[in-house]
Structure 1
Amino acid sequence: MAVRTRVTEMLGIEKPIIQAAMGWIARAQLSSAVSNAGGMGIIETSSGELDAVREEIKKMRTLTDKPFGVNVAQAFVRDPDIVQFIIDEGVRFVTTSAGDPQRYTGILKEAGLTVFHVVPSLSGALRAVEAGVDGLIVEGGEGGGFKNPKDVSSMVLIPQVCEAVDVPVVAAGGIMDGRTMAAALALGAEGVLMGTRILASTESPVHANWKDRIVEADATDTVFLNRSGPGPALRALRTERTSRLQETGSDNIFAEFADTQKVYFEGDLEAGIALTGQVAGRISDVRPVGEIFERTMAEFDEVRGRMSRLGEGTA
């Protein structure tokens, strides 16, 4: 059973699934697997390594002929010409995040790009719509990564935003399979974003130690850090280091990411912070992206069929 929404039509994708833009991780190896599986692969720029990003975009075009996009995490932008860089690379879809949607939306849309902005609140969603975005990625507090310190769960936030805006909404936070995708669409979303589930995939470049910890995790094995600042709050895998940070706080949360490469690619999870969502508690294996998506769509169809039969008196 096909799923056609404004998100799939607008982006030219087969499945209403977008991949999270994880710094250093969301590059051609992983993102091309997402695009080839029928979703929207995203290349990150939050690493600040634009020369490397340029090469990753070139690789994408050799690995897939399907649509893909680029993320601009505004809090991490080092190059003031990043928007022109994206335009020059011929990218057609951009997600913007971690900043004011007024900053880049206008110039991106003037260049003919489609722009979705990531928001953690209703007020953020309304501001993004006012800025002229084509769509929203609405991220509940369950999700991994940088968060609003005043977090709201997906079950509350997604319908709240969907009731208030006319642009298509992509649900993020707690999404990892067909039943959570069905729930998101029932709440009013027209697509979903997956982060932690795709992080724990065969094509993900991160060290097996991180993937294994996700598979072993319970839903309570993440921590919400830096709620009181300074800097952004975030959700991460529970380790000795992050448990300590949860208790003591940090004067500079960004400094805690100094050894990111050791965490991500050498598997030393105590060297920094491994951003991970609560949905790790529901992930029980590491599979290829294509298989994850196939299972997601099959389960979505099963749930949709079961719900349609409820009115007939059979579950």
Structure 2
Amino acid sequence: MFNTKFCEMIEINYPIIQGAMAWIADGILAAAVSNAGGLGIIASGNAPVEYVKEQIKKAKELTDKPFGVNIMLLSDNAESVAKLVCEEGVKVVTTGAGNPGKYMDMWKKHNIKVIPVVASVALAKRMERAGADAIIAEGCEAGGHIGELTTMALLPQVVDAVDIPVVGAGGIGDGRGVAAAFMLGAQGIQVGTRFLVANECTIHENYKEKVLKSKDIDSVVTGRGTGHPVRVLRNQLSRKYQKLEKENAPIEELEKLGAGALRKAAREGDMITGSVMAGQIAGLINKKQSCKDIVEEMFNEAETLVNKLGNK
């Protein structure tokens, strides 16, 4: 039922992309999602190019399926990683925080599919003109860096605005979310938060437990004043950050507070002063599973729901 043109384009069985989460989405997680029939993604973030190369090598050892690399275009290492994916024969690149236009010809020559993440119709149109193969329309329900529009509002408007496949992202964590995204016109979905508690996800157990114990109102957005809003789970760091924002603290002070905070949470398990990025969907997640079980469960649920609608 969900074998879309997007699946054919990327050569995957299920139209699902695993979200690019810095310090979290490594070669092990990417390979597990790809082996499950989706598209696993390695997040390069601001990591050294040697780290990204190591993760690509790890993914190749663990899967013979397509996987991708996410490139944050404003990162200091963006150009190096843009060249690395060509050298390593990576099949797909997802991008954020910038325009991939300057790398597009190079990627196309290496038969790389380019899928930018966007938070507005205007940016979606610009990415299509730049040569993107598909678009990820991400609503503000997502964890990490976000835009202003909700998935419910953004997704159908992007679908109407472009002629290339659109992938829905933000607030999707079960079969209901999958079905809803497809009803809004998506040809695929991107999921991040649910994969945080995957057995193959290598983040600290403290992080996984915080996600599992979270409730519907436990995520907050910090950084709106800096122009870089980020959705995280509440803790001492988020409260301190919001307090400083209300006091109109200098941006430098806010940036210093957040520096290295995601790594603290993801790798060191610091749930007090670490940045625990997760989406609003976290309150729905209540069990650890393999990536295979997560993917199959979500699409089985979605197919059941759609079939029920069709039989009414």
- Give the TM-score range, shorter chain: over 0.9
Percent identical residues: 39
Is it true that 1:258 corresponds to 2:283 in the alignment?
no
* 1:80-135 Cα deviation digits (max 9, x unpaired): 33221110011121111111232433332233211000001111111111111010
* 1:132-182 Cα deviation digits (max 9, x unpaired): 10100000000001122xx11100100011011110000000011111001
Instruction: Give the 5 Å matches for 1:147-162.
Output: 147-148=146-147, 151-162=148-159
Is it true that 1:178 corresponds to 2:175 in the alignment?
yes
8 Å Cα contact 1:260-1:271 kept in structure 2: no
Match of 2:233 in 1: 237
Looking at structure 2, the residues matched to 291 and 254 of structure 1 have their Cα atoms a distance apart, in angstroms, of: 38
Looking at structure 1, the residues matched to 52 and 127 of structure 2 have their Cα atoms a distance apart, in angstroms, of: 26
Match of 2:300 among 279, 288, 298: 298
Offset, 1:259: 4.0
Match of 2:163 in 1: 166
**AA in 2 matched with 1:225:** T
Offset, 1:218: 1.1
8 Å Cα contact 2:23-2:262 kept in structure 1: no
Looking at structure 1, the residues matched to 80 and 37 of structure 2 have their Cα atoms a distance apart, in angstroms, of: 31
8 Å Cα contact 1:200-1:286 kept in structure 2: yes
Looking at structure 1, the residues matched to 298 and 99 of structure 2 have their Cα atoms a distance apart, in angstroms, of: 33
Show structure 1 runs of 4+ deviating over 3 A. 252-255
Aligned length: 306
Match of 1:98 in 2: 97
8 Å Cα contact 1:15-1:39 kept in structure 2: yes
**AA in 2 matched with 1:226:** G
Unmatched runs of 5 consecutive residues or more in structure 2: none
8 Å Cα contact 2:68-2:94 kept in structure 1: yes
Is it true that 1:270 corresponds to 2:267 in the alignment?
no
Query: Alpha carbon RMSD of aligned pairs, Å?
Result: 1.5
* 1:168-198 Cα deviation digits (max 9, x unpaired): 0000000111110010000000000000000
Match of 1:5 in 2: 4
Per the normalisation by structure 1, the TM-score is 0.93
Looking at structure 2, the residues matched to 157 and 259 of structure 1 have their Cα atoms a distance apart, in angstroms, of: 29
**AA in 2 matched with 1:193:** Q
Match of 2:62 in 1: 63
**AA in 1 matched with 2:43:** E
Unmatched runs of 5 consecutive residues or more in structure 1: 311-315
Question: In terms of mean alpha carbon deviation, does 256-265 or 275-284 score higher?
Answer: 256-265
Match of 1:228 in 2: 225
Offset, 1:221: 0.5
**AA in 1 matched with 2:228:** P
Is it true that 1:187 corresponds to 2:189 in the alignment?
no
Looking at structure 2, the residues matched to 126 and 108 of structure 1 have their Cα atoms a distance apart, in angstroms, of: 19
Looking at structure 2, the residues matched to 103 and 236 of structure 1 have their Cα atoms a distance apart, in angstroms, of: 32
8 Å Cα contact 2:93-2:115 kept in structure 1: yes
* 1:38-93 Cα deviation digits (max 9, x unpaired): 00001111132211211211111111111111111112232533221110011121
Is it true that 1:248 corresponds to 2:244 in the alignment?
yes
Greater share of helix: 2
Match of 1:313 in 2: none
Offset, 1:261: 2.9
Match of 1:214 among 211, 215, 227: 211
Match of 1:285 in 2: 287
Per the normalisation by structure 2, the TM-score is 0.94
**AA in 2 matched with 1:283:** I
Looking at structure 2, the residues matched to 254 and 288 of structure 1 have their Cα atoms a distance apart, in angstroms, of: 35
* 1:217-258 Cα deviation digits (max 9, x unpaired): 1121111111121x4111111112102212322614543132
